[in-house]
Amino acid sequence: MSKIKCSVLECEYNRNVMCQAPMIQVNHNSVRRSKESGETQCDTFRPKDL
C-alpha cells in the first residue's frame, strides 16, 4: 500500500501523521465531478475514542 499522510489527528487510523487504515475510500464531496481536492472527502475517517 502507498504511504498516505493524514493531518486529521482525531482519526483512529492516524499514527504519527500517517494513515494506517487497511483501505482508503475517497468520494466526491457534493459535486458530480471533482476538479480540486476540496471537492473530495475521505470516507475512511473514524473518530478516535477519547
Q: Are the beta carbons of 10 and 48 closer than 8 angstroms? A: yes
Per-residue pLDDT at 1 exceeds 80? no
Percent of the chain predicted with pLDDT > 90: 90
Q: Are the beta carbons of 15 and 5 closer than 8 angstroms? A: no
Q: Are the beta carbons of 19 and 4 closer than 8 angstroms? A: yes
Interval 8-32: pLDDT, tens: 999 999 999 999 999 999 999 999 9
Q: How confident is the model at residue 2 (pLDDT cuts 50, 70, 90)?
A: confident
Q: Are the beta carbons of 8 and 24 closer than 8 angstroms? A: no
pLDDT at res. 16: 96
Higher pLDDT: 50 or 33? It is 33
User: Residues 6 or more apart from 19 whose CB is under 8 A from it?
Assistant: 4, 5, 6, 11, 13, 44
